[in-house]
Amino acid sequence: MSDQEHRVTHQATSHASATVRRFTDCVGDQWTVYCIRPPSLLAGVITLLPHEERRNGWLLFESSEGERRRLAPFPADWATVSDFELERWCMRATRIEELPNRRAGER
């Protein structure tokens, strides 16, 4: 692998680690945290979202058991805070119902 290929691989890894984190909570459940940011191309559409707090993105917490939670807005330093702090935010985040349950509630 050339030095240039190595640098590109390292940059991609660094970029990926800045947008995804994993931690284990105090009861042993494993969580993956994704930073969801709407694409800038859709900026005009984003303003139409009914959830104003999500227009600048959100953190999606997903447990190994399939539970999902959303935190919006979220602190800019989320990628560097301790796992303990990340777990606290996860516990405060809004639980996301499965899609069929969400749709039933919208009717």
Find the mean pLDDT for residues 3-10. 36
DSSP state string for 91-107 = HHSEEPPPHHHHHHHH-
Question: Per-residue confidence at 75, pLDDT binned at 50, 70, 90?
Answer: confident
Q: Does a structural domain hold residue 106?
A: no
Residue 88 belongs to some domain of the structure: yes
Q: Tell me the backbone φ, ψ of residue 36, rounded to 5 degrees.
A: -105, 120
Residue 74 resides in a domain: yes
Handedness of CA 79, 80, 81, 84 (dihedral sign): positive
Q: Domain for residue 63, yes or no?
A: yes
pLDDT tens, residue by residue, 46-73: 555 555 555 568 899 999 999 999 998 8
Instruction: With residue 36 as reference, give the H or E element that holds it.
Output: strand 30-36
Mean pLDDT value across residues 32-47? 69
Please report whether residue 6 resides in a domain. Answer: no
Tell me the pLDDT of the chain averaged across its residues.
Answer: 73
Q: Residue 87 belongs to what domain range? A: 19-99
In a domain, 5, yes or no: no
- Does this model's pTM top 0.75? no
The number of folded domains in the chain is 1
